[in-house]
Amino acid sequence: MTFAKEIACPRCARRFALNQLLNLCPCGSPLLVRYDLKKAAAAIAKASLAGRGANLWRYRELLPLEDDANLVSLGEGFTPLLEAKTLARECGVQQVWIKDEAQNPTGSFKDRGLSVAVSRAKELGVKKVAIPSAGNAGGSLSAYAARAGIEAYVFMPTDTPTANQIEARQYGAHLTLVDGLINDCGRIIAERKAAEGWFDVSTLKEPYRVEGKKTMGYEIAEQLNWTLPDVIIYPTGGGNGLIGMWKAFQEMEELGWIGSKRPRMVSVQAAGCAPIVKAFIEGKETAEPWPQAKTVASGLRVPQAVADFLMLRALRESNGTALSVSDDEMLAEIPRVGRAEGIFFCPEGAACVAALRRLIPQGWVKPSDEVLIFNTASGLKYLDVIRDNLVNK
């Protein structure tokens, strides 16, 4: 049972019926699912969630799937919110939480979006899906498509971490390595999808992955007893997570589950690919494509994002900020936070820790703040990247 009622464009306000396969709005904007939150508020008591399964489908009514028979799940979501006492002490802040997304079925937060998108694709009769991926999303789609009995076509840059390439093939996906970046992979899919009959599940080019990602926002509130931290630091590529959480906070307020207080959202990018940071600093509403994008944090190697304006809007509405950190800072942070907290961070997650260490002396994060950082994937997915960088040093 879902309270989803329609799909709407956040740019031109055009509305669409739910029961159709959709990609972008004709105006070029991503589309977002809207719910009947009044009815949902009357039907769901937030206390009743406590007895539900420890996965993201605990927010079932606020996800866009009609029939449970189409639900494709591997137990994704409801990841632990871990207290980082040593890191907090080192940084001199009152409280640091780590949302550990490494503990998802394929080792990254991409499972959230792809569980929901593949379930909905199955419901709408899709037989073949295609994805351009910086790495983790390709592996994740391969797993969920296998479970759904749908064929997956995955396009990754040739220098994507080995684990992502191997896992995609082990799940039976058709993997194509592309001599280029994620946007080049996306272009190939756009050119071929009509002839091949592929449903394109590129980041924010269909309205369901972001629904899965928004559950990070619901979980943070539920795990903090329906409060939100002062600051959320998030590694930003295509923007699914940032936009999804911001949507979740709005929905939860309308449901009467939380108040109007919002965290200040921080977007972290890599110095070698920081289009959102640049646009934020320059006060722009959209971002320019980043030339020659280069970083070891493959998930952050996104030179151009279709949802740039939604990310920038969320950052500004939240009184947040955006900053970039170097690859050296990220790589130095992995063993440092590993020793401090016993968590093997991915480079993207380590970028959040590096950002936190920068924001404190700047006074942007205050000692009294409660800060939440994301570890978006397991460091185990990046063994080759970490080894090669150790060898090179």
Ligand X SMILES: Cc1ncc(COP(=O)(O)O)c(C=O)c1O
DSSP label of 290? P
Per CB under 5 A, the list member of 3, 4, 7, 9 interacting with Zn ion is 9
CB of 113 to ligand X, least distance (A): 8
Least distance (Å) between residue 177 CB and ligand X = 16
- Cβ-based nearer residue to ligand X, 77 or 239: 239
**Alpha-carbon span 353 to 91, nearest angstrom:** 10
Pick the closer one to ligand X by CB: 123 or 301: 301
Residue whose CB is less far from ligand X, 64 or 275: 275
- Position closest to ligand X via CB: 299
Identify the residue whose tokens are 């404190």: 360
Q: Where are the beta strands (DSSP E) in the chain?
A: 4-8, 15-16, 32-35, 81-83, 95-100, 128-132, 151-157, 174-178, 199-200, 231-235, 264-270, 321-325, 370-375
Q: How many residues of this chain interact with Zn ion, rule: CB under 5 A?
A: 7
By a kind-dependent CB cut-off of 5 to 8 A, residue 207 interacts, out of Zn ion, ligand X, none, with none
Distance of CA 337 to the CA centre of its chain: 21
- Taking CB under 5 A as the binding criterion, the range among 3-11, 108-116, 184-192, 311-319 that sits at the site for Zn ion is 3-11
> Of 271, 362, 374, whose CA–CA distance to 324 is shortest?
271
Instruction: Find the shortest distance in angstroms from Cβ 67 to ligand X.
Output: 27
Quick one: which of 343, 157, 167 has its CA closest to 237? Answer: 157
C-alpha–C-alpha distance, residues 219 and 374, integer Å: 13
Which positions touch ligand X (CB under 6 A)?
Answer: 108, 134-137, 203, 235-241, 299, 346, 348, 376-377
Residue 299 partner contact from ligand X, Zn ion, none using kind-dependent CB cut-offs of 5 to 8 Å: ligand X
By the 8 A CB rule, do 269 and 276 touch? yes
* Cα distance between the two ends of the chain: 54
Among 5, 11, 284, 294, binds Zn ion (CB under 5 A): 11
One symbol per residue from 21 to 50: x for binding Zn ion (CB under 5 A), - otherwise; what is it? ----x-x-x---------------------
Contact residues: Zn ion, CB under 5 A: 9, 11-12, 14, 25, 27, 29
